[in-house]
Amino acid sequence: MRPERHPMTFDRLGLSEPLSRAASERGWGEPTPAQRATIPGLLAGRDIRLQAHTGSGKTAAFALPLLQQLSERPPETPRRAGALVLVPTRELAVQVGGILDALASHLSPPLKLACVHGGVSINPQMMALRGGADLLVATPGRLIDLVQHNAVRLGGVRTLVLDEADRLLDTGFADELAQALALLPRRRQNVLVSATFPPQIQALASRLLDDPLHVDVAPEPVADPAIEQHAVHVDSGQRTQLLRHMIRAGAWPRVLVFVATRHATEHVAGKLCGLGVAAAALHGEMSQGARARVLADFRAGRLTALVATDMAARGIDIAQLPVVVNYDLPRSPADHVHRIGRTGRAGARGLAVSFVSATTEAHFRLIEKRQGRRVPREQVAGFEPQSMVDAAPTTGGIKGRRKSRKDKLREAAARAA
C-alpha cells in the first residue's frame, strides 16, 4: 500500500491560525511551490532571492510571513514601520496593499498598514501616517517625498521586500531606489522578488542579500492553448484603421490594446476616438483619479478600447476580457505571454491578435520560438501590406520584393551581353 498523502496546508508552514484562516477565505487550498519554499525561510529570518512570475503566488509568499513577524512584535506607540515593500508602480502598490489588508483581517491586535504612491496628493497619505504604521507598501519616489516631509521614519524597518525588482530598475527608477535604500537601517532582512535576473538585478542581489535562500519557480511561461492567437500582417501606418475594422467586424465589446510608449497610448486612443471607437489611454503619467475613472469606464463597458503600456497595465485585473491586441509587439516573449494571458481567464476562451509588419516579422518569429507555437500569418481584405517585403508566410528568411543588388547586376550584365 502506498503511504497516505497528507495535503500541505498553510499552518504546516508555521503560520498562525488567523493567517491560515485568511488564506483559506481567499480560496487558497494548498500553498504554491513559491509559498512552500519561501514562507519557512522568511519566518526563520533568512534573506530570500525569489524568482517568480505572475500567477505563482509570489505576493502571498512574502506577505503571510511578513504579517506574522509583525504580529509577534510588542506593540509600540507611535508605531514604527517594521517592514517595507517597495514596488515599481502605483497599480502594484494598490494590489499588494489590498492583499495584505485582506490577509491581516483576523490578526489581533490589528496591524496598521499604509499604501503610499505617486499620482495622488501627498497630504492624505501624510495624514494617514500620523501615529505611524506597522507596514508600508510604497513606490520609491513617494517614499522619499514622505521622508523629506517627516511623515515617516524608517529606522525601525527590519524586513525589506523589493517586489518586481527587475521592473524597479527597468523603468528608470534606479536612482530613486538607491536613495530609498540609503534611508534604511543597514542590519535588516532582505527579500528580492523578480521575474528575471539580468546582470543588473544579479548585481543588486549580491549587494543586498546575505547568504540568501534561492527559490526559483519561474520557468519560461507557456502560452495557454485556450487562447486563440492570430498574427495579422499589416503595414505600420494601417494598424489603427485595421484595428477599428476588426473591432467592428468582430463586434468586440472590449479590447485591451498594448502599445510601446506613453505617447503611443494617447496617439492611438485619439485616432480611435476620431474613427468612432470609444477609447482611452492608460499610462504612468496619469493621475490616480484619472486612471481609476478610465478603468471603471472600461470595466463597465463605457469604453470599447483601452490603450495601455505594459507598465501601466501591470497590477490591473479585468474580468471576462475577450480580446487582447498587440498593436506594438512586446519586447520579450515572456511579456507576450503575460499580455495575452489577460484574456481567456477563469475557463473562458480568449482571443489574442498581434499586428506584424515587415520590420517586426523576425521578432515575432522569436516570440513563436520561445512559446513553442507557430501562429499562421493572415491578411485582412483591404488592409494587405504594401511594403517592399513580402508579407506571405515563409519557411526560411524573409524574401524581399525589391530586387537585390546582385539581381540588378545580373540583369545589367544580361542586357550588356
Residue 391 lies in a domain: no
Residue 407 lies in a domain: no
Three-class secondary structure of residue 133 per DSSP: coil
Residue 397 lies in a domain: no
Residue 6 lies in a domain: no
Quickly list DSSP for 348-394: --EEEEEEE-TTTHHHHHHHHHHHT----EE--TT----SSB--S--
Residue 401 lies in a domain: no
Domain count for the chain, please give it. Answer: 2
Residue 107 lies in a domain: yes
Instruction: For residues 67 and 191, state if they share a domain.
Output: yes
Of 359, 378, 397, which closes a domain? 378
Instruction: For residues 193 and 306, state if they share a domain.
Output: no
Residue 408 lies in a domain: no
Instruction: For residues 188 and 241, state if they share a domain.
Output: no
For residue 206, the domain's CATH number is 3.40.50.300
Of 159, 185, 216, which closes a domain? 216
What pLDDT score was predicted for residue 408? 54
Residue 400 lies in a domain: no
Three-class secondary structure of residue 400 per DSSP: strand
What pLDDT score was predicted for residue 95? 85
Quick one: which of 306, 297, 299 has its CA closest to 277? Answer: 306
Range of the domain at 84: 11-216
Quick one: which of 67, 7, 65, 72 has its CA closest to 35? Answer: 65
Instruction: For residues 64 and 91, state if they share a domain.
Output: yes
Instruction: For residues 79 and 151, state if they share a domain.
Output: yes
As averages over each run of 10 residues, the pLDDT of the chain (417 residues) reads 60 92 81 92 96 81 96 88 94 89 92 93 95 96 96 96 88 84 95 89 93 81 74 96 96 95 94 97 80 89 93 70 94 83 78 94 91 90 75 36 50 51
Instruction: For residues 179 and 274, state if they share a domain.
Output: no
